[in-house]
Structure 1
Amino acid sequence: MELHQLEAFSAVMSAGSITGAGRLLERSQPAVTRQIQELEADLGYALFNRNGPRVTPTHRAFLLYEEVERSLIGLKTIEQRARAIGLDEAEPLRVAATPALAASIVPRAIASLPPLGHTPQFQLRSLSAEHVVHEVLTRTADIGLVTLPIGHAGLDIHWIAEAPCVALVQSGDPLATQPSIALRDLADRRIVTVANRFRLRHRIDAAFAAARISADVFLETNASLNAVMAARAGAGVAIVDPATGLGLSIEGVTARPLDCAIPFFFGVVTSAGKPRRAAVDALLQSIEHATRELLEGVVLHPAQQHDALLQRETRVSRARTKHPEHTA
């Protein structure tokens, strides 16, 4: 495989046509066609189904695309870093975070950094929790902010934040005038929330189950911000993490605490055994400050409490299910 072939493949995936890819790459259509054909011959399978000037990616093309994009971005990063070294510029500080944390806590932390002697460039990537862990483990990110569980070998957990989830409703909703919202008040409401069942979602489901309420989950999404915007549009009541619910000021919705504490956990991690630059340590401190400032009532647990926190939540969920009268 040649670099120009991979670039042609990536461009066709983005543009949806050979002609469009040629415009993106400033190459002729026959040249792009030839490069795709050569790549398919090297791989031994088709990447696109042809229909005149249009092409449709095959299932294998989508599987390959993520790897190709990661490689091309990596090569671009190497090129940029090589040029920066020649100019004696500081190495970029790379942060990977789940969407909720990337949109709320990280920007506030970066903006609050004190002046550094050699100010670095920052790179922030919003990824799924699993991909954040991968970025830190492979050392393509200096810092990761990721929801629990994160008991992976090769990670240094600096601390674990715990703060209760919140509900968001349209500002004109009667629930918006209440000091807090009881789960029983949501029994006849459409619920909008997150979808990852191995992280926050299972605690939300457990809280409703313990209260003997069959939640009408009208919309589930992979990003809390989507849930908030759905609530703003009137699609339902959003139950989301506090970083999104409290950290993003969105007109037209009102955040209210729930009468039942549904904990949101996230940790700040770096790669184990990797020496840290002063700029990384400075940002770690700023992230901690931003977390305390943004999340009212947040508790920061030491890293060694990771397993105990998850076990505690399992015990609480079981107790609530057995004794729902004590959940209010």
Structure 2
Amino acid sequence: MELHHLEAFSAVMSAGSMTGAGRLVGRSQPGVTRMIQELEQEIGYALFDRKGPRVTPTQRAFLLYEEVERSLIGLDAIRASARAIGLDAPAPLRVAATPALAAALVPRTIAALAQHEAPLDVQLRSASAEHIVQALLARTVEVGVATLPLDHATLDLHYIVEAPCVAVLHADHPLAGPGVLALQDIAAHPVVTVANRYRLRRRIDAAFADAGLQPVIALETNASLNAVMAAHARLGVALVDPATAFGTRIAGTVVRRIDAHIPFLFGVVTLPGKPLSSGASRLIEALGHVCVDLLPDAVRHAAAQHDALMTRRANPSRTHTKGVPA
């Protein structure tokens, strides 16, 4: 299987046509078509249904695409490392984080390091927690920052950060006044929240169930920022992680504490048995400090607390000790 075949395949998946793919890779349309045909002959099945100049990927093409992209990203990482070696420079630090953490926490950490030390050369990718684990195992990233659960025997969990979820509302919403919002009051309004049923959404649902409440879900989404923007559009009260709420503030919205402690839990993971670069060690330590500074009531736990934290229920009686910034 030739590299140029894989690059042509990736380009066609991105462009949606042989002609568009040719422009992406600097080849003619007949050249791209020929490379795709050669790849299909080698693997023994069709990757695209042809309809004139455009093509439709088959289900097998989508499955193969995930593997090809991981390989091409890994190749890009090797190229970057090779350039750094040739310049006697450190290789870029490759970090993968879930979208909320990639947007809100990692850039702040890089900026904090740059204020006191030499800036890091960082390549940051956002991905689901499951894909972050895959990227670490494939060695295409060195550091992963992802939501719990992260109970993988093949990874080193450095620490866990816990911070309570909050409500985000349009500034004109009836509940947007100062003070702590009661879960019961939130349930009387449309609710916007995340859809990851085995992670944060599971704890949000448990909090309502423990309080005997059945909220009306106006919108569920795979990204907390989408929920915040829905609150901004007056679709409802967004229940989201504090990293998104405080790290990516949206004008015209307000953030409010709620009277149930619904924990947002995430950790930092790396591959075991592989010495960390100095840049990775610096970023991991600095990230822990940035989290505690940015997120009200954030607590840093030892990695050994993973299972205990995952089995703990939301606590409606817990009070907050640190105020929410206005």
Which digits, 9 at most, give the CA deviation of each residue in 1:269-295, with x for residues without a partner?
Answer: 222221122222211121011011101
CA contact (8 A) 2:74 2:139 kept: no
Question: Partner residue of 2:20?
Answer: 20
TM-superposed deviation, 1:116: 4.2
TM-superposed deviation, 1:137: 3.3
Question: Partner residue of 1:210?
Answer: 210
CA contact (8 A) 2:101 2:243 kept: yes
Separation in structure 2 between the aligned mates of residue 264 and residue 161 of structure 1, nearest angstrom: 8
Question: Partner residue of 1:29?
Answer: 29
CA contact (8 A) 2:17 2:55 kept: yes
Question: Partner residue of 1:176?
Answer: 176
Separation in structure 1 between the aligned mates of residue 197 and residue 180 of structure 2, nearest angstrom: 25
Is 1:90 the counterpart of 2:90? The answer is yes
Separation in structure 1 between the aligned mates of residue 133 and residue 44 of structure 2, nearest angstrom: 33
Question: Partner residue of 2:42?
Answer: 42
Which digits, 9 at most, give the CA deviation of each residue in 1:146-167, with x for residues without a partner?
Answer: 1111111122222111111001
CA RMSD in angstroms comes to 1.8
Which digits, 9 at most, give the CA deviation of each residue in 1:76-109, with x for residues without a partner?
Answer: 2212221221111111111111111111111110
Question: Partner residue of 1:303?
Answer: 303
Question: Partner residue of 1:323?
Answer: none
SS at match of 2:176: helix
TM-superposed deviation, 1:327: 8.9
Separation in structure 1 between the aligned mates of residue 227 and residue 130 of structure 2, nearest angstrom: 21
Question: Partner residue of 2:129?
Answer: 129
TM-superposed deviation, 1:136: 2.5
CA contact (8 A) 2:80 2:91 kept: no
Structure 1's unaligned 5+ residue stretches are 321-325
Separation in structure 1 between the aligned mates of residue 58 and residue 105 of structure 2, nearest angstrom: 38
Separation in structure 1 between the aligned mates of residue 144 and residue 212 of structure 2, nearest angstrom: 37
Is 1:255 the counterpart of 2:230? The answer is no
Structure 2 vs 1, CA of residues 70 and 78 (structure 1 numbering), >3 Å: closer, same or farther? same
Separation in structure 2 between the aligned mates of residue 259 and residue 148 of structure 1, nearest angstrom: 23
Question: Partner residue of 1:63?
Answer: 63
Question: Partner residue of 2:111?
Answer: 111
Which amino acid in the other structure matches residue 41 of structure 1?
Answer: Q
Question: Partner residue of 2:201?
Answer: 201
Separation in structure 1 between the aligned mates of residue 120 and residue 232 of structure 2, nearest angstrom: 37
Structure 2 vs 1, CA of residues 73 and 136 (structure 1 numbering), >3 Å: closer, same or farther? closer
CA contact (8 A) 2:110 2:120 kept: no
Normalising by structure 1, we get a TM-score of 0.92
Separation in structure 2 between the aligned mates of residue 215 and residue 100 of structure 1, nearest angstrom: 24
Separation in structure 2 between the aligned mates of residue 41 and residue 143 of structure 1, nearest angstrom: 38
Question: Partner residue of 1:161?
Answer: 161
SS at match of 1:176: coil
Structure 2 vs 1, CA of residues 127 and 36 (structure 1 numbering), >3 Å: closer, same or farther? same
CA contact (8 A) 1:211 1:327 kept: no
CA contact (8 A) 1:90 1:120 kept: no
CA contact (8 A) 1:101 1:243 kept: yes
CA contact (8 A) 1:180 1:256 kept: yes
1:271-286 counterparts in 2 under 5 A? 271-286=271-286
Deviates more, 1:182-191 or 1:260-269: 182-191
Deviates more, 1:154-163 or 1:129-138: 129-138
CA contact (8 A) 1:167 1:258 kept: yes
SS at match of 2:172: coil
SS at match of 2:259: coil
Separation in structure 1 between the aligned mates of residue 184 and residue 318 of structure 2, nearest angstrom: 11
TM-superposed deviation, 1:135: 2.2
Question: Partner residue of 2:265?
Answer: 265
Structure 1 moving runs of 4+ over 6 Å? none
Which amino acid in the other structure matches residue 163 of structure 1?
Answer: A
Q: Percent identity?
A: 60
Separation in structure 2 between the aligned mates of residue 95 and residue 77 of structure 1, nearest angstrom: 12
Which amino acid in the other structure matches residue 267 of structure 1?
Answer: G
SS at match of 2:244: helix
Which digits, 9 at most, give the CA deviation of each residue in 1:35-71, with x for residues without a partner?
Answer: 1111111111111111111111111111111111111
